[in-house]
Each structure stands twice: as structure tokens, then as C-alpha cells.
Structure 1
């Protein structure tokens, strides 16, 4: 059922792509700068936090800005996908109660918005990568494979959390708080090799799915060593996640109109 609905959604992308872009445009239409405001968070995180924490760790700003830039943009894709999906079904209550029961459209709407944010911030990331002392073009080419894997995991997470959010409205508030901790726990403003091996921090990092999903994309681009554990972790996470999402969707998607 889940895969059938996704196939139908991908055949008719107009609804979720246009609705995602319209949400962004209407959000900023009253401001003087409009969607230019979308460039402010990447600027602050990449060059503001990058410069601040690079000095604390005795790393050049140019090198650390690329590390922070890739990590932050990928983290924001995952955070936006999961956090916004936990409230998307209640936000689209009118459509659902009117008979639009293909819930995958609403999950893809959120993923499309997160990708719009990502694409609009790419010029700032491109500057950070251009200034970095070492960027591997082979790693950038490899991102054409690893980035879809990251998005595939964002999709199944979006499905699960959208159903959880429809049943338990407090899930969005909970996830918002957890992602604050998740940002600190994930090596975005610090390097993974700064954590002592065998420490509690190292074990928590190794269990953190956000770390493995981000590192899978970022490490080849910046020429860092990618542990084989990350490949196994992401492969297992993807298979387990989609299996769980399919079961949960088949079992509970029918109850969403009642929950709303």
C-alpha cells in the first residue's frame, strides 16, 4: 500500500511540488527581502559558527566552514523532513477529510520544501567548498548516489512521524526539543575524530543515525576517511526503516481521518 501510494504520488508531482514552493513563497511574501531571508541561516551557521568554532579548535576557517556547511545543510534537510512531517497531516486536515487519503502526497510536500531550502542555500555552500583547502570532485560525484539514499531515509522517517504526529499532537514539540540535542550530538560544529575512542560520547555518536547519514555524504566530498561501519549502518537503517514504514502505513493510515 505504501509503495503503491508513493508510485502514484510520483506520477502526479504537481500537487506536492507546487504546494511546497507556495508555502515558502507565502511565508516570506510580506517581508521586504522575501525568500532572500532563506540565505540568512546558512550564512550564520556556515560562516558565523564556522569561524567561531574553528578558532576554538585551531582549524582554519576555510577548512571548517566547508565541514559545517555540508553538515548543517544535510542536517536541516533531515530535521525539516522529520519535524514538519509530524504536523503535516493535521495541517492538511481539510484535504484529508475531503477525501484526499493518499498521505504520501503530504509527506512528499514536506520533503520538497526541505529540498527547496537546500537548493537555495547551495550558492553559499559552493563558496565554502571553493574556499576549502581540499575538496574532492570524486566525492561530489559520489554525492549523486549518497544524497538520494539520505532522502530515501528522510522519506520513511517522514511517513512514520507523520502518522505519529496525527495520533499524538505533542510529537512535534518533542521532536523540536530532541533536534536541539541532536544538533549538538552530531559532529557538525565539531569533528568526529575529536571524540576519544571508547568514550560515552563516541558510543552515542556511533548510534546516532543523523551522524551516519550526514557523514555518508560529507566525508567523500571533503576527502575524509569513511568508516565501513557507516555503509553497513545506513544499509541496515534503510532496509529496516522502509519495512517498518510499510507495516505502519498499512496498519494505521486508514485511521488518520478519525484521529484528525
Structure 2
């Protein structure tokens, strides 16, 4: 039986495959475009200054405040969304490498996480502009957000492993995830404020069961000077521990079956 921790350590010590192949995938995708990878600036710009401006007007919010709210929320949501969606097809898409037997499954999970983090970095210039016009930026909150960001990355890693194996066994999972994330985006407070659903209400209680809400909020709220509910910290810690336990168990039990499934 294979150990998730042992394979993960081996992958991290030898990043030549997953780091280089991630970069090549991105470069090849945009190599025939005049702007190249600069096109990756378009989605965050559209969401922040297009969708953000529209919903700011609808809600009577100030754009200089709402743009930062949407920008940080979109960047975090897209990072998590990218990991979940792409991990469902990561093993099947790399079947030739996996069947060759010279690479670990964790190499392909790390490819997914690395690509999502690259997209996040490409959104930073747009977020930087939004934060530059934000009237009350909290630099101490920036430090707090940076402390919690590795927790989000840790969750992204176990998510990539778990959804990768489930997606290898059940190919329809990718279609289901693609459709459900349309609802997940609207259900997560990205283009609206979380305080519109107070904790004492039924809608607020349901929203707080959404893991995406906590993963976005723990990074965004400190930077914007907003309070984080203690429940968010407990939720993320519990999810991290439970997620890695499930990932280790599934990997130990089913990793050897992935070549058969794909």
C-alpha cells in the first residue's frame, strides 16, 4: 500500500516534472496569442471592474470598497474552483504518464495546485489596483491573511488528491462539478456582502456550512478590516485535519487502482 505522505514528500523533493509541465501547459495554451499569458489578466479585470461595478450599483455600494471585496473574493474562489474542477480529470488526462509507472499520483495533484496558484498570482495586479483605491486598508490584516493562506494551500492539496481519485473512478464527476460551481459562485459572498445573511437566520446558517465561504473569508476579511467569526477558524482547522485524514486513507487504499480506472 502506498503512503500519501511518502509520495508527497518525494514529489516536493523532485519538482522537475510537475512544476515544469505546469508552466509548459500554460505557455502552450497561449503561445499563438499576441498577448500570451497576459490574457489571464482579463478574467479578474472583468469580474472586478465589470461585474463588481454592476453589482455595486445594484446594492448602492461604493465601488472603491466593493472592488476590493470582489477582487479578493474572486481570486480565492477561482483558486479553489480551479483545483476542484481540474483535479477531477487530472489523472485521466495524464493516463499515459501514470500507466508508464515512473511518476507518483501526487505529481499530478501538485500540477493542479501549482496551476491554480499561478492563476492566483496573475490576478494580483488587478487586485492590487482594487486595494490601492480601498480607503481603509489594514496592513496588519495583510499579515494575518498571509498566515492563513498556507492553510488554504494545504486544503487545496488534499482536495486535489481526493477529487482526483474520485474523478478517476467516476468520470461523470467532472460534469457534475462544472455545473454545481455555477451555483457555488452565487452562493458564496463574492458579489454580495456576507453580513446580509446574519448568523441567526436560516440563510446565514446555511451559508456558514459552505466551506468556500470560510476559505475566502479568512484571507479577505483581515485585509479589508472586517471581523472574522471564530467559527471560521474552527471550521478551517477541522476541515484541514479531517480532509488530510480522508485523503491519506483513500490514497493508501485506492491509489493502486487508479491505473485500472483510467
2:213 counterpart of 1:182:
no
**CA deviation profile, 1:188-233 (whole Å, cap 9, x unmatched):** 0000001244333212211000001110111101000000000001
**1:32 equivalent in structure 2:** 34
1:80-101: CA deviations, max 9, x gaps? 0111000010110000011135
Structural mapping, 1:194-213, within 5 Å: 194-213=196-215
Q: What are the Cα deviations for residues 148-192 of structure 1, in whole angstroms up to 9, with x where unaligned? A: 100111111111000011001111111111111110110000000
CA deviations 1:16-61 (Å, max 9, x no partner) are 1111111111111112221111000000001111111111111110
Aligned equivalents of 2:199, 2:85: Cα separation in 1? 31
| 226-235 vs 199-208, which moves further | 199-208
Q: Which residue of 2 aligns with 1:249?
A: 251
Whole-Å Cα distance in 1 between the matches of residues 39 and 201 of structure 2?
40
2:72 corresponds in structure 1 to 70
| 1:95 corresponding residue in structure 2 | 97
Match of 2:169 among 167, 170, 188: 167
* Cross-structure match for 2:221: 219
SS at match of 1:207: coil
Separation in 1, partners of 2:156, 2:197? 27
Aligned to 1:131: 133
Are positions 1:157 and 2:169 aligned together? no
CA distance in 2, matches of 1:189, 1:38: 20
Q: Cα–Cα, structure 1 residues 136 and 155, in superposed 2: closer, same or farther, change >3 Å? A: same
Alignment of 1:103-122 (within 5 A): 103-122=105-124
Q: Secondary structure at the match of 1:189?
A: coil
Q: Which moved more, 1:116-125 or 1:189-198?
A: 189-198
Instruction: Using structure 1 for the length normalisation, give the TM-score.
Output: 0.98
Q: CA RMSD in A?
A: 1.0
Conserved? CA contact 2:146–2:219, under 8 Å: no
* Unaligned ranges ≥5, structure 2: none
Runs of 4+ that moved beyond 4 A: none
